[in-house]
Amino acid sequence: MTLALAEAEADIGTVILRESVPSEWSADVIERASGREWSALRISVLRQLGDPEGLWRLRADRYVGVAEFGSADTPLRVRIDPKIDADLFLLSDWAFGRTRDVLATEALTAHIDVLRREPAAVLLGWYLASLESFVVRWLRRDFQLRQEVLVGRVRGHILMTEYVRRHVAGGRPHHVPCEYLEATRDTLPNQILRRALHEVAGLIPTLSVPAARRHLQAAVGRVEPYLSGVRNHAVAPGDFKRVRLGRSQRHYEPILRKSEAILSGFFFSHHFGAHAQRAFLWDASLLFQEALRGVLGSWEGATLDSSRGRASLVDGNGHRRYSSKVDPDYVLRSSQGTLVLDAKWKNVIVGAAPPPTEDEDSAEVTVGRGTRIRISRSDIYQAVSYAQHERYAPCETGLVYPIALGDGDALPRPMRVTGFGRPVWILFMDVGYGGQRRFGSFFESLESCRLP
């Protein structure tokens, strides 16, 4: 981003950054937030020798999304775009929903382009579309045991001890404490949905694109009537463990999993700096990793193995002094062998990605239509180490990199790094807006990597 564009955005109180790409900003913009606030957002504030006076470089190294802080009179909004122009609807569905049914709704499809102008709105829109689809069709009542003091009537059975000690002895025999079953929507699963809706609604004003704000606020307005009568109170992590879904409520599981992701802090950071602020931040690397896990779980060619091996440091007497987990992202087992994969959220396209640093050791190669990619040697050495572990060997290893392809582009075929015994495979997964259509090609790439 040029300084002129940066200053133009700063005039309206918005700093726009791209993940892992440094950009120049004036000292006036930098000073509108404290060092602790920039650090909490994992944004580095740097100067280099030779930089003009009054200029600083900002680099977002972890989170993607929006945050707002500073004084109420002159708030500063920070927007961090993903390093790759990925379809975040696609990644969200496969990380948590495992389906693309959400995008079948005409209301959402009509606003996809609006939402994509604001990356943070994408995940908010994804969740609201899932929630709206659920409450319209699947919201259920359940019987809850309630205790209530009724006046002049009885329902269920009387809590006799309380009735005698508190009400009869107090001269109020017409006040009758009762316990009874009532069919109500105010159940724990629905309370979780209500709270997640409340949290999402509170974040919408932080978005910088007015059209996206209007669309999401309208979506909240459509969902709220269905959850009327459901209490809105804070949800603790332990509440998800207390949910017991009977046979008639098993369909709640997918939407509760998405709501847990919203409420548990997987995406949200409510506090940073000296004061509580509103922020919608997510770790794009983790989102890609979980989405790839969902895609691999749908592949019929192998099954995911969640067990992991360990590496130990042993002294001269054979005593183990230290042990740590050897934890690749995915271990796929089949009758044809084992395939160990690691997900790498890196923009490997030369020209789109920032240039390598002086201490980064990488190699550049050409794949399809003259496109050049840059692969880190450290990633390759990591895959080689997995192949040597006794729990996985003999196995094939590979690295999966995200790539955003155009309509007419084909998924690059897998490549191999040789010289380490068994090859290390380099695979590509299309996370662009047409990525769903290329999953078949991705599965073919996986087939070509398995042991003969």
Helix (H, G, I), strand (E, B) or coil at 373: strand
CA 143 to chain centre: 34
Residue pair 181/156 in contact by the 8 Å Cβ criterion: yes
In tens, the pLDDT along 118-163 reads 667 777 887 888 898 889 888 888 787 889 999 999 999 999 999 9
pLDDT of residue 280: 72
Q: Which residue has the tokens 């390598």?
A: 356
Q: Which residue has the tokens 């109170």?
A: 233
**How many residues does this entry show for the chain?**
452
What pairing do the DSSP bridges indicate for beta strands 396-403 and 55-60?
unpaired
Average pLDDT, the chain: 80
pLDDT of residue 434: 84
Single-letter residue type at 176: V
Residue (of 129, 256, 97, 143) closest to 189 by Cα position: 256
Take residue 210 and report the two structure tokens written for it: 């007015």
Regions in the chain scoring below 70 on pLDDT: 1-12, 70-73, 97-119, 208, 264-279, 350-371, 450-452
Residue pair 182/148 in contact by the 8 Å Cβ criterion: no
Gap between the Cα atoms of 348 and 402, Å rounded? 8
- Reported as type and span, the H/E element at residue 132 is helix 119-138
pLDDT of residue 361: 62
Residue (of 375, 382, 360, 362) closest to 412 by Cα position: 375
Gap between the Cα atoms of 262 and 282, Å rounded? 10
Residue pair 109/133 in contact by the 8 Å Cβ criterion: no
Residue 379, C-beta contacts closer than 8 angstroms, at least 6 positions apart: 342, 344, 399
pLDDT of residue 175: 94
pLDDT of residue 274: 35
Gap between the Cα atoms of 343 and 331, Å rounded? 12
Residue pair 387/412 in contact by the 8 Å Cβ criterion: no
Residue pair 56/48 in contact by the 8 Å Cβ criterion: no
pLDDT of residue 9: 45
pLDDT of residue 368: 57
Gap between the Cα atoms of 341 and 325, Å rounded? 16
| Signed CA dihedral, 107, 113, 118, 124: sign only | positive
